[in-house]
Amino acid sequence: MPETTIDCATACINGCVLGDKCPNLEYKQESAKFIQETSLDRMLEIAEERLKKRMNEPPKWVYPEE
């Protein structure tokens, strides 16, 4: 049986569509552990730190290929 390739960021917005056949199950377990062990306040702190860091980065210009 050929391995299914899927764009999880697009196809799985409302939940994993592959179930137990998902190639990213290890990340699902890591995410569940993070959510269980991290308070909402800490998650908000992490997001705020990243936003501040991103706001201080120079812009990244993307030029279309001609």
List the chain domain ranges: 8-56
For residue 54, how many C-alpha atoms fall within 13 Å in the half-sphere facing its CB? 6
Q: Average pLDDT of the chain?
A: 86
Which amino acid is present at 63?
Y
Mean pLDDT, residues 4-31: 83
Are residues 23 and 3 in contact, defined by beta-carbon separation less than 8 angstroms?
A: yes
pLDDT band, residue 14 (cuts 50/70/90): confident
Which amino acid is present at 6?
I
pLDDT at 29: 85
